[in-house]
């Protein structure tokens, strides 16, 4: 993961903006892997989580499509040679696609030398015989990112309609067995916190769940945000702030004591959700972020069936653009875009 660490370094806060972009230009010029691929093979979900747009009937009607084998092959041939990471599952539930197809995709990424492959899932199908987590790890899966928005049955099932808490417990025990066999395999928990589930981050509730199953290697806490229409309507962070020390703060220390990584916003950063992203951050993200789905890939004018991403970047004179951005003294001239990303501390 040396290259992945270098790319993260390019976004570090202590490096001057121009040097970040110049470092990315050097990595690109040397032919290194610089692209993160976020692939949704299926635009559907088996749950109707309250904080997700899949709880909105109108949005569900818009979300449809299954990626074809031909498109998978085209994306792999075009993008994977420059991919630093493949994340399967971004805006939908990838396990609906099926175990065999997921395993084939993971193996395909491995054949192109992609250094890190992650699966993002609500985990419900992984807890059944429908999709075997072990089979995916055998194929080369490095990490499971598990969406989990409660640590007690009542809160978990209320916020994630269609999910069963017993399946969550079963999956965490499966993860423990897989980690015993494959020690390098990582479990990442993604917990979106709101006024209803903040108490589920308290020490007694978290310990009760993870002590009897498995503790994650990484846990990321995301304050609830409005990312579209959904059943959830309370986007205030007041309840989270009032219980920050006894929940997020205490959990951070518990994770550190177990050698795990906590990715959390500070108390002061909880409300920093919709901010303008400019300068180095905007340039780096626009260059390195590749979202792929049944009907889109990277940029509107990019067709993976017709050209490689390397050829596309050359055609767009990307190296020249990066170098110019690195040495530009007029930051306002650099592209800005709106992001829903938060500032996080990694502890």
Of the candidates 62, 51, 67, 237, the one whose C-alpha atom is nearest the C-alpha of residue 149 is: 51
CB 181 within 8 A of CB 224: no
Give the per-residue pLDDT at 259: 95
Report residue 270's pLDDT band, with 50, 70 and 90 as the boundaries. confident
Mean pLDDT of 148-167: 98
Higher pLDDT, 257 or 24: 257
Report residue 269's pLDDT band, with 50, 70 and 90 as the boundaries. confident
Give the per-residue pLDDT at 281: 67
Q: What is the mean pLDDT of the chain?
A: 88
Alpha-carbon distance of 165 to 171, in angstroms, equals 10
Q: Is the pLDDT of residue 246 over 70?
A: yes
Give the per-residue pLDDT at 339: 45
Of the candidates 291, 282, 269, 289, the one whose C-alpha atom is nearest the C-alpha of residue 345 is: 269
Q: Is the pLDDT of residue 239 over 60?
A: yes
Give the per-residue pLDDT at 18: 75
CB atoms within 10 A of CB 285: 16
Q: Is the pLDDT of residue 313 over 80?
A: yes
Give the per-residue pLDDT at 233: 95
Collapse the DSSP code of 196 into the 3-class scheme (helix H, G, I; strand E, B; otherwise coil) and give the result.
Answer: coil
pTM of model > 0.85? yes
The dihedrals phi and psi of 270, each to the nearest 5 degrees, come to -55, -35
Span 66-124, pLDDT tens digits: 999 999 999 999 999 999 999 999 989 999 999 999 999 999 999 999 999 999 999 99
Mean pLDDT of 28-43: 91
CB 135 within 8 A of CB 179: no
Mean pLDDT of 139-156: 98
Higher pLDDT, 313 or 152: 152
Alpha-carbon distance of 91 to 219, in angstroms, equals 19
Q: The tokens of 137 are what?
A: 């790890």
Mean pLDDT: which of 146-160, 226-240, 310-324 is highest?
146-160
Give the per-residue pLDDT at 96: 97
Calculate the alpha carbon distances from 87 to 80, 114, 131, 173, 336 in Å: 12, 11, 17, 23, 25
Q: Is the pLDDT of residue 4 over 50?
A: no
Domains (ranges, CATH) in the chain?
Answer: 2-346 (3.20.20.70)
Out of 144-148, 167-171, 212-216, 316-320, least confident range:
316-320
């Amino acid at each position: 993961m040396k290259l992945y660490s270098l790319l993260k370094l390019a976004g570090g806060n202590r490096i001057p903006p121009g040097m970040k972009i110049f470092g990315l230009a050097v990595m690109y010029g040397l032919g290194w892997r610089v692209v993160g691929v976020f692939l949704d093979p299926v635009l559907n979900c088996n749950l109707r989580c309250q904080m997700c747009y899949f709880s909105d009937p109108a949005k569900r009607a818009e979300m449809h499509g299954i990626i074809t084998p031909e498109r998978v092959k085209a994306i792999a041939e075009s993008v994977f040679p420059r991919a630093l990471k493949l994340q399967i599952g971004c805006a939908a539930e990838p396990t609906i696609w099926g175990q065999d197809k997921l395993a084939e995709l993971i193996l395909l990424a491995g054949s192109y030398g992609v250094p890190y492959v992650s699966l993002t899932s609500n985990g419900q199908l992984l807890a059944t015989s429908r999709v075997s987590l072990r089979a995916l790890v055998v194929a080369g899966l490095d990490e499971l990112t598990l969406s989990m928005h409660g640590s007690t049955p009542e809160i978990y099932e209320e916020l994630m309609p269609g999910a069963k808490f017993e399946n969550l417990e079963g999956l965490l025990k499966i993860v423990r067995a897989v980690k015993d066999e494959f020690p390098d395999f990582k479990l990442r928990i993604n917990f979106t916190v709101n006024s209803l589930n903040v108490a589920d981050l308290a020490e007694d509730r978290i310990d009760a769940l993870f002590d009897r199953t498995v503790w994650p290697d990484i846990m990321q806490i995301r304050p609830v945000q409005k990312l579209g229409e959904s059943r959830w309507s309370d986007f205030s962070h007041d309840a989270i702030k009032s219980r920050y020390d006894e929940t997020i703060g205490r959990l951070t220390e518990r994770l550190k004591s177990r050698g795990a990584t906590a990715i959390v916003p500070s108390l002061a950063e909880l409300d920093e959700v919709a901010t303008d992203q400019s300068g180095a951050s905007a340039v780096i993200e626009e260059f390195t972020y590749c979202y792929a789905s049944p009907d889109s890939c990277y940029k509107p004018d990019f067709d993976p069936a017709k050209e490689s991403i390397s050829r596309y970047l050359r055609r767009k004179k990307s190296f020249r653009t990066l170098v110019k951005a690195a040495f530009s003294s007029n930051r306002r001239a650099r592209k800005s875009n709106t992001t829903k990303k938060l500032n996080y501390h990694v502890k």
